[in-house]
Structure 1
Amino acid sequence: MAQSGFSRIRSFRSQLNGSDAKIADYILTHEAATKTMTIQEMADATGLSTATISRFVKRVGYNSFREFSLSLAIIVPNNNTFFGEISEGDDRKAIVQKVFSGAENALASTLDISDKENFATAAAWIVAARKVGFFGIGGSSIVAFNAYHKFLRTPIDSFQHPDYDIQVMQAVRMNADDVAVVISHSGRNHDTLAVMQHLQAHGVKIIAITAFPNSELAKNSDLVLASAAEEVNIRSESMSSLIAQLTIVDTLFTLVGVQMGDQTAAVVDEIRQAIEQTRR
């Protein structure tokens, strides 16, 4: 299921300012009207130039105004519950349905905005790296640990640790032959950005996994794998983003595993045999 343009704008809204914020706010408050507007009509309605509208469209991830306009026509069940917003009157059945729908929609939306070439490039960098570090603070450390757990099944020399100080020490021991996968839902966590700065200082290639492709982390990374996000109330947006980011990691692992073929199979077999011995 493709992501509605309105949903994508909401996911970008907190990162926009100036003319971009003005355009976004106009579109979100005039949904019915903007669905059929031409670029000139939107420019007239917002008091801006067509060039400014065109730049906005590209900033939120579309190649052209036509592509953007078509995305506004995509019908989703309910924009306010697209990511499973919980209301006070919801019963248990409705809550369960919304949580699962939120995860499903996050995956579909992430796939919609993903750049398949970026996945291919990230996998190639990981395969060629001397070693690979997975970095994340707080909730993002769950994704980082999952990545480390997955990549233990490949010949890749990888590492991960949840402690910030140790992450800093790991970062300063990396070099230009290494790759760092840095995970942050917001892309603005101060500790994560500090780790990123150490990685940059040592020439490490940085792959960012974040829901905010205009964040400081994304802007300072060599490559970005974006997950979809949208503000919701009780169930934090990062919950759906977490599902999407875990799937991004699974995709990377699968691409690397397939690329390394027999080497991966040999590691998997050896690990499986070792674990089986603990179950006797």
Structure 2
Amino acid sequence: MAQNIIEQLRAQKKQYNSTENKLIDYILQDTVRAREATIRELSNGSGVSTATISRFAKKIGFDSFRDFSMSLASATTTLSPVDFFGEITDNDDTDAIAQKVFAGASNALKATVNHLTASMLDTATHYLVAANRVGFFGIGGSSLVAFNAYHKFLRTPLNVIAHPDYDIQLMQAVKLNNHDAAVVISHSGRNKDTLLIAQKLKENHVKVIAITAFAESPLAKSADLVLLSLAEEINFRSESMSSLIAQITIIDTLFTLVGSQLSTRTQDVVDTMRTTIEETRAH
């Protein structure tokens, strides 16, 4: 897995200001030109100052413009934003719409996995395995991902908690401590209720893994580790739909990594659950 900065910029455009978007648009309009450009050439072409470009490179996680430029040079993309995320038009028939919706989900997964690194996933796995308790938190659509995570991780030896009710989530967050870990899920990373949960977790020194689409969101900035779910907004549906699929797949990945690391103990839990669930089925 290697970070594809082109996919990241395309998926996260709306979180940046108008000046930064001028630079992003310039890069996306001709990625070949941008890959080869010096900071002065990017400045002249985009109309953005070299100082702003340098600050932007650091803002999105690079140590310098040189590192940003090297990432641009190694990025691979041949699809326009419309092609990549499946913009739907009035002329599309049923088959075309279905193809574009599935392609959008597939490409959101591709963009997400290309941004993840083994180091990020290893760190997240370590937080989960080392924790006394693991809490999964999310509101609205993200609550579906949180409860899906809870359902999966019940099949591991981990002591996990989750609840669909917000007030109970908040009480659960307050009870966690520095020996615990939490996965907080929010597409925007800006929901005030979710941020209150994250605040309480941080006050108790809980290790927080954020799953969000926006690296500059308040949730991402408060977390110990951020796993980005990348998807771009298109018409007729929110980008959060594709992001939801990416979030669930991140959870699946963490579940598989934890299960692999605790393979024997996980298998024992799974076997016990299968036996118990089988007793509920008619024969």
Residue in structure 2 matched with residue 221 of structure 1 by the alignment: 223
Contact 1:13–1:21 (CA under 8 A) maintained in structure 2: yes
Contact 1:5–1:74 (CA under 8 A) maintained in structure 2: no
Residue in structure 1 matched with residue 253 of structure 2 by the alignment: 251
Task: State whether structure 2 residue 89 is matched by structure 1 residue 101.
Answer: no
Q: What is the CA distance between 1:4 and its match in structure 2?
A: 6.6
Residue in structure 2 matched with residue 190 of structure 1 by the alignment: 192
Name the stretch that deviates more: 16-25 or 207-216. Answer: 16-25
Q: Matched residues in 2 for 1:75 and 1:187: separation?
A: 29
User: What is the CA deviation profile of residues 98-130 of structure 1, one whole-angstrom value per residue up to 9, with x for unaligned ones?
Assistant: 111111101111011112211101111111111
Q: Matched residues in 2 for 1:90 and 1:2: separation?
A: 34
Q: What is the CA distance between 1:20 and its match in structure 2?
A: 2.8
Name the stretch that deviates more: 14-23 or 156-165. Answer: 14-23
Contact 1:2–1:108 (CA under 8 A) maintained in structure 2: no
Q: What is the CA distance between 1:223 and its match in structure 2?
A: 0.6
User: What is the CA deviation profile of residues 124-180 of structure 1, one whole-angstrom value per residue up to 9, with x for unaligned ones?
Assistant: 111111100000000001110110000000010101111111111111111111101
Q: What are the equivalent positions in structure 2 for 1:150-169 lying under 5 Å apart?
A: 150-169=152-171
Q: What residue ranges of structure 1 are gaps of 5+ in the alignment? A: none
Q: What are the equivalent positions in structure 2 for 1:14-53 lying under 5 Å apart?
A: 14-17=14-17, 19-28=19-28, 34=34, 36-48=36-48, 50=50, 52-53=52-53
Contact 1:57–1:68 (CA under 8 A) maintained in structure 2: no
* 3-state secondary structure, aligned to 1:64: helix
Q: What is the CA distance between 1:67 and its match in structure 2?
A: 2.3
Q: Matched residues in 2 for 1:3 and 1:93: separation?
A: 32
Q: Matched residues in 2 for 1:34 and 1:151: separation?
A: 43
Q: Matched residues in 2 for 1:56 and 1:130: separation?
A: 39
Q: What are the equivalent positions in structure 2 for 1:255-266 lying under 5 Å apart?
A: 255-266=257-268
Q: What is the CA distance between 1:44 and its match in structure 2?
A: 2.7
Q: What is the CA distance between 1:190 and its match in structure 2?
A: 1.2
| Change in CA separation of 1:152 and 1:249 when aligned onto 2, cut-off 3 Å | same
* 3-state secondary structure, aligned to 1:82: helix
Q: Matched residues in 1 for 2:92 and 2:264: separation?
A: 51
Q: Matched residues in 2 for 1:224 and 1:89: separation?
A: 39
Alignment-mate amino acid for residue 270 of structure 1? T
Residue in structure 1 matched with residue 69 of structure 2 by the alignment: 65
Contact 1:212–1:226 (CA under 8 A) maintained in structure 2: yes
Q: What is the CA distance between 1:46 and its match in structure 2?
A: 3.7
* 3-state secondary structure, aligned to 2:12: helix
User: What is the CA deviation profile of residues 63-112 of structure 1, one whole-angstrom value per residue up to 9, with x for unaligned ones?
Assistant: 430321443x6202x42131222212110000110111111101111011
Residue in structure 2 matched with residue 56 of structure 1 by the alignment: 56
| Superposition TM-score, scaled by structure 1 size | 0.91
Q: What is the CA distance between 1:54 and its match in structure 2?
A: 4.0
| Change in CA separation of 1:49 and 1:182 when aligned onto 2, cut-off 3 Å | same
Task: State whether structure 2 residue 198 is matched by structure 1 residue 212.
Answer: no
Alignment-mate amino acid for residue 84 of structure 1? G
Across the aligned residues of Structure 1 and Structure 2, the Cα RMSD in angstroms comes to 2.3
User: What is the CA deviation profile of residues 172-224 of structure 1, one whole-angstrom value per residue up to 9, with x for unaligned ones?
Assistant: 11111110100001101111111111111211111000111111000000111
Q: Matched residues in 2 for 1:103 and 1:47: separation?
A: 34
Alignment-mate amino acid for residue 176 of structure 1? N
| Change in CA separation of 1:276 and 1:172 when aligned onto 2, cut-off 3 Å | same
| Superposition TM-score, scaled by structure 2 size | 0.90
Alignment-mate amino acid for residue 116 of structure 1? A
Name the stretch that deviates more: 48-57 or 109-118. Answer: 48-57
* 3-state secondary structure, aligned to 1:209: strand
Q: Which residue of 201, 204, 207 corresponds with 2:203? A: 201
